[in-house]
Amino acid sequence: MENKVNNLDCGPFQKKGPALSTKNVQLMPAMNMPDSACGSESTSPLAAYDKPGYTLCRYVDHFIDTGAGPVPVIRPDLDKWDRLSTIAVRCGIRRHKYLVSPGLYGIGSPAPDSEVLVTANYKLTFDHLRSALGSISAWILVLDTNGVNVWCAAGKKTFSTRELVKRIKAVPLEKVVAHKRVIVPQLGATGVSAGQVRELSGFRAVYGPVRACDIPAFLNTGRKADKSMRQVTFPLFERFVLTPVELHGALKMAGVTALVLFVLSGIGPGIFSFHAAWERGLVSLAALVTGLISGAVLTPVLLPFIPSRKFALKGIVLGSVCALLLLPVVFAGAGSIAGAAALFIFSVMVSSHLAMNFTGATPFTSPSGVEKEMKQYLPVQLAGVLVSAGLWIYSAF
C-alpha cells in the first residue's frame, strides 16, 4: 500500500528532519508542530500508511481507494495551527516555505462523478479552498507552483497548461473519475489554455469563479457563473490584510537604509561627527518611518481615494501629505531649508517606491502595466534619493 501511495504522487506526507520525533507533524517542510498536534502512531487508523522518515500531514483525515490507488482525504476545517500559521505568513514570516505537496486529494466523500477542482500548492490557497467547500465532496488537484498563489503563478507560468496536463497524467486522473472535466480557478486562466488541455490530456478545462467561496453556488447551478462570480473585487479588508507582508518586506531594506542615513548624517564641517550622526540621524529616521507608513500601509488602505491610476504617483501624492505633516515636527532638527527639503524628498520617494511595489498584489494593473510603471518611475525615485542625500549633506555645512 505504501508504494501505491508513493506512485500516486498524492503527497500526503512531509519529510521528517533529522532531529524530529516520529510523533511530530509538520504543517510545512520547515515548521515543526508540537507533539500534541497528533495522536499516538500505534493507535492511529492511518498507521498502515506510515513511511520511514515521513509523517502524515495533519490535514489528512483518511484514505480512499480509487482505480489509481489510495488517495488522501483532507479535512475542510482549519485547526488552530493552520490559523496561527496563516497569521505568520500574512506577516511575511516563512511565506516562501508555506506549501503543500502537489498531487490529488479528496474532500468529503468523493466519488468517480465528483468534480475535480484545480488549485496551487501555496498552503494559504489550499486552506482557503478546502475551508470554503464545507460539506461538498470533490477531488482537489494541486499543481506544483513552487508555493505561489494561483494568480501570481499564472503570471509566472507555473500555474500552466503544461503543469496541469503533467499532473493529470501523473495521478492518473482518468482512473479516478468517470468524467473528463477539471475546474480551473478564473484567476489562473492566463496560464491555462482550455483548448490545449483538452488536446494534450483529453480533459476539458472549465473556468470556475474568482473566489473560492462562490464554488458551492457555482456547482449547484451546473457549473455556471453569474456576473458577480466573474468580478474581481479589492475591498478594504483585502487591501488591509496585504499590508503586513508588504511592510515586512520593506523592513528588510529599512535597516540598511537607516544605517546609511546615520552615516550621511554624521558628515559635516569636521569631516565626521558621531554626535551629529546620532542627532541628525534620528531626524532622518523619522522621515524614513513616515515614508514606510505612507507607502506600505496608508496607500494600500486608501487606494481608491488617491488620485491617479499609477501606484508610484499615488505614493507620491500621499507621501507628500504625510511628509508635510512631518516637517513642522522635525524642522528644528533639519537645521535649514535645504535639510527640510532633503527630508521631504526622501520621505516621498520611499512612499512612492513602496506604493509601486504594491501594484503587483492588486487586480488593478496588468503585468505589462507594472513593468511599464517601474521603468517610468524607478529612475525618478533613484534621482530623488540622490538629490535628497546631496541636500542633506549640504545642509550640515
Identify the pLDDT of residue 361: 64
| Listed residue (234, 251, 212) closest to 92, CA to CA | 251
**pLDDT value at position 20?**
28
Dihedral Cα 9, 12, 18, 24, nearest 10 deg: -170
Cα–Cα distance list, 157 to 10, 89, 140, 184, 362 (Å)? 22, 23, 20, 14, 18
Q: Please tell me the predicted confidence (pLDDT) of residue 27.
A: 32
Q: Are 218 and 225 in contact (CB under 8 A)?
A: yes
Grid cell at residue 256? 540598511
| pLDDT tens, residue by residue, 188-211 | 998 999 999 999 999 999 999 999
**Angstrom distances, CA of residue 80 to CA of 37, 55, 58, 67, 101:** 10, 19, 12, 34, 21
The per-residue pLDDT for 246 is: 78
**Strand ranges in 49-197 using DSSP code E only, listed in sequence order:** 54-56, 60-66, 69-74, 103-107, 116-120, 138-143, 181-184
- DSSP label at residue 364: S
Q: Which residues make beta-bridge pairs with 139?
A: 106, 116
Identify the pLDDT of residue 318.
95
pLDDT score recorded for residue 109: 95
Kindly tell me if the per-residue pLDDT of 274 is higher than 80: yes
Site of grid cell 465532496 = 137
Residue 53 has pLDDT above 70, yes or no: no
Mean pLDDT of 33-52: 48
Question: What whole-number distance in Å separates Cα of residue 227 and Cα of residue 380?
Answer: 40
335 backbone dihedrals φ, ψ, rounded to 5°: 90, -25
102 upstream amide cis, omega within 30 of 0: no
The answer on pLDDT for 132 being more than 70 is yes
Query: In the structure, what pLDDT confidence band is assigned to residue 95 with cuts at 50, 70 and 90?
Result: confident
Higher pLDDT, 134 or 121: 121
May I ask the CATH architecture of the domain 2-7+60-232? 3-Layer(aba) Sandwich (3.40)
Taking the domains of the chain in order of start, what are their residue ranges? Answer: 2-7+60-232, 237-394
Cα separation, 279 vs 258, whole angstroms: 13
Task: Label residue 392 exposed, middle or buried (CB < 10 Å: 0-12, 13-18, 19+).
Answer: buried
> Does 252 score more than 50 pLDDT?
yes
Question: For the whole model, what pTM was predicted?
Answer: 0.76
Q: What angle do CA 355, 360, 364 make, to 5 degrees?
A: 90
Distances (CA, A) of 250 to 253, 255, 287, 321, 327: 6, 9, 15, 20, 23
**pLDDT digit string, tens, across residues 7-41:** 333 356 565 543 322 233 333 332 223 333 333 33
284-329 tens-digit pLDDT: 999 999 999 999 889 988 988 898 888 999 999 999 999 999 888 8
